[in-house]
Structure 1
Amino acid sequence: MANGLDEVVAAETVLSDVDGLGGRLTIRGHSLGDLAGRWSYARVVRLLLDGFFDDLPGDAELAARLGGARTEVFDRLAPSLRLLAPLEIYSAMRAGIALLPDGETLADALRLIAAPAVLTPALLRLRRGEQPIAPDGKADHATDMLRMLRGSAPSPALANALDTYLVTVCDHGLNASTFATRVVASTQAGLTPSVLAGLGALKGPLHGGAPGPVIEMLDAIAAHGDAATWLRDEIAHGERIMGFGHRIYRVRDPRADVLKAVVRKLGGEGDTGRRLAFAETVEQTALDVLRVAKPQRSLQTNVEFYTALVLEAAGFPPEAFSNVFAAGRVAGWVAHAREQQTTGRLIRPQSRYIGPVPDLVA
């Protein structure tokens, strides 16, 4: 039996392929490098949904309909935002999405894809004592998300950084949240319950909750003053070094390279430039320390390390990093749910009982 279902093939998919040995990520026939920074998030949404909705429009109209979906989500949920805001930020977003109507149409799918991008800025503003800002349905998805957060239009470089991030994390094989999504979708429960299942799995610190602790690690190392000593002490105490190692990749996570390039474009002088230079030093030190401390394992930089820097530069606090992760991954969840509904069957694995056996009566 495979512990944790390692190497078990549980689905056939056209959506993405993770090559852990080669360090490659393919999304519907395109390498990540061909998409990230070149295709808008809305265009990648259309790529993922292609074939799963009969009325799927072209790129421009799909982007316009996604903008309309952001406005619809805001209008539907605005009366509930103040009730949700005191909750932990991820739970508040998940509760807001649960209030959306369920259905199987393209409009239902686009509402679900739009929801994290609308709810996260609105909830953050309310928690800061500021008024939520309504979406601009004509704006680019990432630009609008930042505008709703900041209260003004972001720089093109910052908008491109967030857009690239959303594309980078839009889908990634049969990870924990995507598998949870497909399990629920296989019961024909509907798109909204399926996405809510993905949201539940993404919250865990071993999945979508991982980027936030990277910031805590960088801050702790900065306060300590000696990266190598701090890292060795953590390893000696059995602590995990956040931002390094991956369940599938045995070489460097290709998403880390994409996001490192994004952060470099945002760098230069000032706080962002200094933060990047410090993070690169920590990264190299961590790789050297891990190579010596755990020579039997290939612990390379993963997506969470540079995710933390991109989202910090964009103005999101660490407690909202998982929300932004969800804002990108939700498109993949919706596509996987539709694929499971149309081509799969009820997911019902077997378990092996290892408990006590009752006495048999002769």
Structure 2
Amino acid sequence: MKKELSSKEAAAILGVSLATLYAYVSRGLLVSIADGRARSKRYAHEDVLRLAARKADGKRAGHAVAAAMSWGVPVLESRISSVAGGKLIYRGRDSSALAAHATLEQVADLLWGGTGEESDGGAGKLPPVPQLPAAVAALARTMPPLERAMAFLPVLACLEPGPERCPGAAPPAQLMRMLASLLLDAEVTSAPLHEQVARAWGVQGAAQELLRAALVLMADHELNTSTFTVRCVASTAAALPAVLCAGLAALSGREHGGHYLIAKDVMEAEVVRPGNFTVEAMQPGFGHPLYPDGDPRAALLLEMMKPLPRAAGVLALAARASAIKGAEPNSDFALAALELVLQLPPHSGVVLFALARSAGWLAHAAEQMADGGVIRPRARYVGDFAA
């Protein structure tokens, strides 16, 4: 393969005129090489091929968006949630307004295409959550919550009455209850999930309302990493327990669910030495690219914390961050603050996140399966080109 191309050869590969080729050079999209023997410029063959690949990618991106991505650019249409105008919207309804009164079950029903009025999301009509065998349960208790849920959710799903249930045909509301049982390491009843979380952690009164609101506000957030992962797995027609496990796996990463732990470390250090931490925009816990004026989820939860006696330190840090553009507290900050202010057990923030987000994951899985099509984007090859 030729290592260098003339201007005419490069323009032919790119499908552009010489004037456009020179414009690419002036805009830094392509580098020209001076030819010492002539006044003309030369171009590295691989650079031209890479630019051609990028141009083809751009053309695909300009096409009408498909309802389900298949062999194309990673864009998906959804009817479930959106972030617009500084608000998080669930099927046309403001999540902050829902957080004032709704339960996670009601929001799940809304996200799944219902009215959102059902008091328990159908949980009261379901049989008790099956329990792991004693020896398995003892092993499970030695594991962190997310890992325990990933390991044993498919097991619980297969313990549902009737062989037709395996490998996981349990209704979505029952799968959420199974997940709650594993995350909390507790038996789950038909009571609203926020009450069961509060009971497991010994929380009462206003603090229980905080947990309810947090579960509602974290139920979905458009196509974040874990939700996109869930849709990829759901597009293969995998069983729902496997789909939820995929979401949990993505959430377990340091750059997703782990951000709240980084924010928690900052808060704990700040309580010991107030003002010692340098607040900067767009670090874990501070700032969000989708909310240039501040994350409404964090704003509501922090406002609800004000009456609590242990909240002064985190609220002072939140006020300091809010004064810096792009560093306003986000949902990771709020989850860390909840864990500290309510003196919850370790991992509580990510447990709340996972349980809440399972409602959204199941909604996206159902939408993906209904719309059809395997999610399979194309790769843009930018490596070496063979001769």
In the superposition, the TM-score normalised over structure 1's length comes to 0.77
Q: Which digits, 9 at most, give the CA deviation of each residue in 1:259-282, with x for residues without a partner?
A: 1122225x1xxxxx2x32211221
Tell me which of the two structures has the higher relative contact order, counting C-alpha pairs closer than 8 angstroms and 6 or more residues apart.
1
Q: Work out which of the two has the higher radius of gyration on C-alpha atoms and give 1 or 2.
A: 2
Stretches of structure 1 lacking an aligned partner (at least 5 in a row): 123-132, 268-272, 292-297
Q: Distance in 1 between matches of 2:144 and 2:200?
A: 19
Deviation at 1:301, TM superposition (A): 1.8
The corresponding residue for 2:233 is 184
| More displaced 10-residue stretch of structure 1: 322-331 or 8-17 | 8-17
CA contact (8 A) 1:162 1:311 kept: no
- Within a 5 Å distance, the mapping from 1:104-119 to structure 2 comes to 105=169, 107-119=170-182
Question: Does 2:284 match 1:242?
Answer: yes
Question: Does 2:78 match 1:13?
Answer: yes
Q: Which amino acid aligns with 2:102?
A: W
The corresponding residue for 2:195 is 143
The sequence identity of aligned pairs, in percent, is 29
The corresponding residue for 1:125 is none
- Within a 5 Å distance, the mapping from 1:36-115 to structure 2 comes to 36-50=99-113, 59-60=118-119, 62-65=121-124, 68=126, 71-73=128-130, 75-76=131-132, 79-99=135-155, 100-101=157-158, 105=169, 107-115=170-178
The corresponding residue for 1:332 is 360
Deviation at 1:338, TM superposition (A): 0.5
Q: Distance in 2 between matches of 1:231 and 1:199?
A: 32
Distance 1:41 1:186, change over 3 A: same
Deviation at 1:306, TM superposition (A): 1.7
CA contact (8 A) 1:23 1:250 kept: yes
The partner residue of 1:172 within 215, 221, 232 is 221
Distance 1:241 1:346, change over 3 A: closer
CA contact (8 A) 1:312 1:318 kept: no
Deviation at 1:357, TM superposition (A): 2.7
In the superposition, the TM-score normalised over structure 2's length comes to 0.72
Q: Which amino acid aligns with 1:329?
A: R
Question: Does 2:290 match 1:231?
Answer: no
Q: Which amino acid aligns with 2:205?
A: P
Q: Distance in 1 between matches of 2:192 and 2:134?
A: 21
Q: Which amino acid aligns with 1:92?
A: R
CA contact (8 A) 1:169 1:328 kept: yes
Distance 1:60 1:89, change over 3 A: closer
Q: Which amino acid aligns with 1:251?
A: D
Deviation at 1:325, TM superposition (A): 0.6
Q: Distance in 2 between matches of 1:322 and 1:343?
A: 30
CA contact (8 A) 1:186 1:345 kept: yes
Q: What secondary structure, in the 3-state scheme, does the structure 1 residue paired with 2:178 have? A: helix
Deviation at 1:23, TM superposition (A): 1.0
Q: Distance in 2 between matches of 1:259 and 1:344?
A: 37
Q: Which amino acid aligns with 1:98?
A: P
Q: Distance in 1 between matches of 2:172 and 2:240?
A: 7
Distance 1:158 1:286, change over 3 A: closer
Stretches of structure 2 lacking an aligned partner (at least 5 in a row): 1-53, 66-72, 159-165
Q: Distance in 2 between matches of 1:57 and 1:332?
A: 13
| More displaced 10-residue stretch of structure 1: 110-119 or 253-262 | 110-119
CA contact (8 A) 1:116 1:323 kept: no
Q: Which digits, 9 at most, give the CA deviation of each residue in 1:44-103, with x for residues without a partner?
A: 11111226xxxx99714635437x46x314x24665221122223321222122323356
Q: Which amino acid aligns with 1:304?
A: D
CA contact (8 A) 2:177 2:188 kept: no
The corresponding residue for 1:127 is none
CA contact (8 A) 2:306 2:312 kept: no
Distance 1:300 1:230, change over 3 A: closer
The corresponding residue for 1:163 is 212
Distance 1:93 1:109, change over 3 A: same
The partner residue of 2:340 within 308, 312, 326 is 312
Aligned Cα RMSD in Å? 2.9
Deviating beyond 4 angstroms after TM superposition, the runs of 4 or more aligned structure 1 residues are 76-79, 102-105
